[in-house]
């Protein structure tokens, strides 16, 4: 998994990647915060986003969403990155450093999923079957979208992989029959917290998944007229003991989400609530959600085909093991429904962003974890060794196709993240820095990565838009915009 990412670490930072890069680099000389609401000075220096540099002073702004992940970068990751003295590195070395820092965050999720694959392999028969979890994990993580997102200085790829990869492992642990009720609740509590520490939509989707599954479970009990007709292996499927397990799991998840949301809200109430306003604004801007959904599927299909395959595999596995999933493996059912809810929600929103749908990393991770967890039951239905070999052969071919696509992207020197030309962007950044040397009062309208590669250059970030830059109040009459 790491080897597939190493060739792309030196790619130039594009778009908003420079903004997030500065969070882990630091070295701000603050001018002012244009927001009307300010927090402590420490938050200004560690958690807010740089939008301009004028006369050697940095301008920062609030992110307008949960401040927690930004503070984790500023307070937790920055001291580790500064050990490498980024100010002394070359252009390409600076790219490698920042991308490696965000890859290091993603690695926590890779470790969690690899350990999950190991636990699953112990439950499979000897021989080729034990390679299946690792092969599926490699297939999922070799998708160009996942490769790019895990080395991109953004939140969704790094924290999405780290937090939800770990949360998936905790939910798998909560499904094991040999753990105590207390441990099951603690695992669920940890999962609930991790689901809240980055984007607002993560806990919303988790809550909807839990409630939907509980409603389905209750409905099946009613339809089947009690537990006497609802059996598996001649034992009542929804016994009081299993009901207690589900109750403990749900209690832990709700408790963890409540604790995490409270912590994020306490850190910055205005930013946390602004995240909901952003979601509402995206929804209100769409007139026909069905058309948007269809267009979003068509537009994102090249990058999401691996996700669609994982969800389809998960559907087959869920239908073949639905009784256990609604009783003793309720936490695993949450994984797949959670992945589906987030996938549908993101597709329905039609949000295109900068052309790189990194936010789909979260359902990617959840769907992959669910497929891994279902392999023992899925292989248990097949008595033929030839069928197992056929399954592994198909996954192997799909993995090779993913890796082949990565090879072409690298060979053609294309960006693995934002759809742009890394070499042209690099030349543009160098040109902008040289313009400043000729005219020290010129303010360049450019990517925020200009601040990282060439500190001291006057610029206003393209993230605020050209109209916003034109209306910006410059230090004095000597300064002028350069578009």
Give 238-278 pLDDT, tens digit per residue: 555 667 788 899 999 999 999 999 999 999 999 999 888 87
Q: Within a domain: residue 1?
A: no
Do residues 170 and 286 both lie within one domain? yes
Does a structural domain hold residue 470?
Answer: yes
> 64 and 44 in one domain?
yes
Could you report how far apart the first and last alpha carbons of the chain are, in Å? Answer: 41
Given the DSSP bridges, would you call strands 480-482 and 442-446 parallel, antiparallel or unpaired? parallel
Q: Is position 202 within any domain? A: yes
pLDDT score for 286: 61
14 phi/psi in degrees, rounded to 5: -120, 150
How many domains, the chain? 2
Judgement on whether residues 107 and 86 belong to the same structural domain of the protein: no
Identify whether residues 228 and 258 lie together within a single domain.
yes
Tell me the average pLDDT across 438-455: 90
Q: What is the pLDDT of residue 226?
A: 52
The pLDDT, as a whole number, for residue 385 is 78
**Predicted model pTM:** 0.92
- On whether both 116 and 85 belong to a single domain, the answer is no
Residue 272 CA, chain-centre distance (Å), reads 18
- 54 forms beta bridges with 57
Q: How many CA atoms lie within 13 A of 399 on its CB side?
A: 18
Q: Is the pLDDT of residue 340 over 70?
A: yes
- Say if residue 289 is in the same domain as residue 209: yes
pLDDT for 236 beyond 50: no
Q: Do 169 and 270 have their domain in common?
A: yes
244 & 275 share domain: yes
Give all strands (DSSP E) within 98-251, no chain letters.
231-232, 235-236
**Quick one: pLDDT at residue 165?**
97
**Integer angstrom CA distances of residue 16 from 34, 68, 279, 448, 463:** 19, 18, 19, 7, 7
List, as own/partner pairs, every contact residues 277-283 make where C-beta atoms lie below 8 angstroms and the sequence separation is at least 24, other chains included.
277/64, 278/64, 278/65, 279/200, 279/201, 282/349, 282/350, 282/351, 283/349
Average pLDDT for the chain:
88
* Alpha-carbon span 440 to 456, nearest angstrom: 10
Is-contact 402 442, C-beta < 8 A?
no
How do residues 6-23 score in pLDDT, each as one tens digit? 999 999 999 889 999 999
Q: Which domain does 340 fall in, by range?
A: 97-411
Do 407 and 431 fall into the same domain?
no
Of 371, 391, 411, which residue sits at a domain end?
411
Instruction: Give 135-174 pLDDT, tens digit per residue.
Output: 999 999 999 999 999 999 999 999 999 999 999 999 999 9
**pLDDT of amino acid 160:** 96
Mean pLDDT (whole number) for 29-40: 50
Same domain, 278 and 359: yes
């Amino acid at each position: 998994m790491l080897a597939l990412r190493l060739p792309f670490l030196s790619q130039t930072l594009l778009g908003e990647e420079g903004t997030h890069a500065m969070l882990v680099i630091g070295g701000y000389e603050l001018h002012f915060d244009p927001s009307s609401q300010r927090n402590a000075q420490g938050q200004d220096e560690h958690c807010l986003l740089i939008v301009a540099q004028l006369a050697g002073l940095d301008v920062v702004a609030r992110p307008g969403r949960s401040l927690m992940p930004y503070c984790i970068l500023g307070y937790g990751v920055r001291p580790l990155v500064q050990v490498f003295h980024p100010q002394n590195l070359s252009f390409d070395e600076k790219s490698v450093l920042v991308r490696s820092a965000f890859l290091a965050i993603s690695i926590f999720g890779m470790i969690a999923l690899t350990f999950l694959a190991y636990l699953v392999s112990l439950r499979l028969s000897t021989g080729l079957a034990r390679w299946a979890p690792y092969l599926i994990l490699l297939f999922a993580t070799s998708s160009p979208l996942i490769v790019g997102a895990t080395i991109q200085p953004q939140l969704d790829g790094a924290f999405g992989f780290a937090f939800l990869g770990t949360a998936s492992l905790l939910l798998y642990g909560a499904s094991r029959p040999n753990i105590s009720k207390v441990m099951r609740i603690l695992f669920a509590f940890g999962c609930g917290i991790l689901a809240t520490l980055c984007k607002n939509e993560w806990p919303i989707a988790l809550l909807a998944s839990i409630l939907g599954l509980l409603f389905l479970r209750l409905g099946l009990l009613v339809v089947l007229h009690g537990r006497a007709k609802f059996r598996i292996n001649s034992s009542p499927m929804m016994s009081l003991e299993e009901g207690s397990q589900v109750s403990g799991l749900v209690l832990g998840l709700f408790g963890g989400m409540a604790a995490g949301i409270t912590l994020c809200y306490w850190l910055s109430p205005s930013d946390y609530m602004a995240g909901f306003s952003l979601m509402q604004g995206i929804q209100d801007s769409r007139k026909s959600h069905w058309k948007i959904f269809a267009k979003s599927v068509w537009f994102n299909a090249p990058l999401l085909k691996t996700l669609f395959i994982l969800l389809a595999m998960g559907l087959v596995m869920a239908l073949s093991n639905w009784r256990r999933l609604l009783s003793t493996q309720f936490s695993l059912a949450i994984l797949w429904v959670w992945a589906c809810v987030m996938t549908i929600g993101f597709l329905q929103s039609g949000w295109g962003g900068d052309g790189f749908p990194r936010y789909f990393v979260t359902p990617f991770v959840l769907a992959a974890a669910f497929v891994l967890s279902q392999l023992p039951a899925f292989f248990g239905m097949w008595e033929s060794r030839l069928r197992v070999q056929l399954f592994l052969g198909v996954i192997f071919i799909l993995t090779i196709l993913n890796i082949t696509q990565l090879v072409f992207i690298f060979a053609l020197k294309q960006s693995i993240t934002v759809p742009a030309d890394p070499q042209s962007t690099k030349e543009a950044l160098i040109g902008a820095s040289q313009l400043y040397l000729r005219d020290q009062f010129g303010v360049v309208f450019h990517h925020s990565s200009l601040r990282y590669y060439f500190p001291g250059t006057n610029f206003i970030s393209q993230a605020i838009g050209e109209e916003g830059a034109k209306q910006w109040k410059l230090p004095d009459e000597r300064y002028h915009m350069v578009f």
